[in-house]
Structure 1
């Protein structure tokens, strides 16, 4: 039997998690020109996931989101390290960045920087580490 506060929590979690995920994407893309980036975007995404895990339970979320967060950590590290080493290919110092403008279908003329790839690596690493720690603690207590 579901208690009343569980129904309220689950109903509001859907909206709140959507808002948090949207804000985390904004922070991720704003990171190379304004405050934000992969680290805080990853923490916000993890916060949305933790909220969903709290509202729906670990077993339900494993069915909805069948991700082993431990595999995300090395992927993020490889992307971040690859962007740093990739600058050597072009004869530039480690972690040098460049940017260019591209005409994208929906967004129009958009600046894309290589710092965005580094932020993606940081983002994935932070989500992987944070969720692994939190889920490991939660599974130890259950």
Structure 2
């Protein structure tokens, strides 16, 4: 797409959407949000980049292949359940770490895995569609 306005604001929208998606990802284990919703917003940021600057710009910003992101996310989500399985005998039993007002745990690791799966899956689809459109 050759829109001057979209090209001018694409990077701003991209970084804004990535920041919002990471905020929603982090707050997801305490409030509504989490890996799925954050991943959808993050993938939308990359989709805006594809619309404005093309597939290569989005691939450069992503830095890894979308399928590799999906695989890494799936492995991370599965591994996040192992501490509970090994220590209490129940898969996905959550373990928490509290340092002052900062708290995190295996739920956040699971959400990061889901985030990567969603971003990778949607971008694999979007990038494939735009690559096919460019070749025809």
Structure 1 length-normalised TM: 0.85
Q: Distance in 2 between matches of 1:65 and 1:99?
A: 30
Other structure's SS at 2:81 match = helix
- After superposition, the Cα gap between the structure-2 partners of 1:137 and 1:93, relative to the gap in structure 1 and judged at 3 Å, is same
Partner of 1:123: 115
Other structure's SS at 1:32 match = coil
Partner of 1:106: none
- After superposition, the Cα gap between the structure-2 partners of 1:13 and 1:118, relative to the gap in structure 1 and judged at 3 Å, is same
Q: How many correspondences in the alignment?
A: 134
Partner of 1:55: 52
> For 1:73-112, what aligned pairs fall within 5 Å after superposition?
73-103=70-100, 109-112=101-104
- After superposition, the Cα gap between the structure-2 partners of 1:61 and 1:94, relative to the gap in structure 1 and judged at 3 Å, is closer
Conserved 8 A contact 2:85-2:91: yes
Gaps of 5+ in 1: 104-108
- After superposition, the Cα gap between the structure-2 partners of 1:100 and 1:59, relative to the gap in structure 1 and judged at 3 Å, is closer
Gaps of 5+ in 2: none
Q: Any idea what the Cα deviations from partners look like across 1:29-86, whole Å, max 9, x if unmatched? A: 1100000000011111000001011101123433454421111111111110111133
Structure 2 length-normalised TM: 0.89
Other structure's SS at 2:17 match = helix
Are 1:135 and 2:127 counterparts? Answer: yes
- After superposition, the Cα gap between the structure-2 partners of 1:59 and 1:114, relative to the gap in structure 1 and judged at 3 Å, is closer
CA-atom RMSD, angstroms?
1.8
